[in-house]
Amino acid sequence: MKQIHPYKTVDEALISLDNGGRFYNLFTQAEDGTITQAELAKVGGLFNEKQNMILFLDLSLSQLDAESQEQIISKLDDNLKATYGKHKPTEMSPSEVNEIGTKSSNIVVTGIPEMKESRNYFSGMILVPVGKAFVPIPISDMYTVYEIKDEQSSEMILITHAKGSEKLPEKRIKVGGVLKEVKPKKNEKLVVKQFLEINYFLDLD
């Protein structure tokens, strides 16, 4: 999980994003007026994680007005534009996520996170490779869990990030991640049916 520091101007965004890529991207040129996947991956600290790249880009541009955002998107090369169209996040309230959120899609939610005990939401084990063996690890040990309540109602969405990451601040923030399904064990009654596994957040204060 990473905190996003959004761009304040179009020029700032273009200087950052049109960066030439990493040293081995021999056919990618800095400041040529076109933003490629290699350049977006470099500034986002990513490699071939297309869905995360688009989430990073969308949140990085989120403080610009619509016209400025469109100006940046127009600079994406054809391949990156297609990826952007496929994975562009949907901004929703927690109640909208619960009603119409699509599994495996990028979603952005705003609110104040409240930390919870992960064992109250997740049960079961997952096999994690350790050397040549697979070790069963409780799913609840993998995640730090929070609730974000709807700003217009008491409805909430569960959000998570990998344990070991910096904890989220308990103030109004915007989080972005991938909506995932909670898979129950046989005859198990679920507390929640889905959760947002977040990759990025930005401070709104």
Residue type, 30: A
CA distances 120 to 42, 62, 145, Å, are 38, 33, 10
For residue 188, the model assigns a pLDDT of 58
Residue-wise DSSP of 63-97: TS-HHHHHHHHTTB-HHHHHHHHHH--EE--HHHH
For residue 140, the model assigns a pLDDT of 82
For residue 10, the model assigns a pLDDT of 97
CA distance 90 to 47: 23
Q: To 5 degrees, how large is the angle CA 158–CA 164–CA 168?
A: 45
For 94-203, give the CATH class.
Answer: mainly beta
Domain ranges of the chain: 2-88, 94-203
For residue 101, the model assigns a pLDDT of 94
CA distance 81 to 65: 19
For residue 14, the model assigns a pLDDT of 96
For residue 186, the model assigns a pLDDT of 63
Per-residue pLDDT tens listing for the chain (205 residues): 899 999 999 999 999 999 999 988 877 989 899 999 999 999 999 988 999 999 999 999 999 999 999 999 999 999 999 999 999 999 999 999 999 999 999 999 999 999 998 888 777 676 777 888 888 887 788 889 999 998 778 889 999 998 888 899 999 999 999 998 877 666 656 567 888 999 999 999 7
Nearest residue to 175 (alpha-carbon basis) of 205, 142, 148: 148
For residue 190, the model assigns a pLDDT of 57
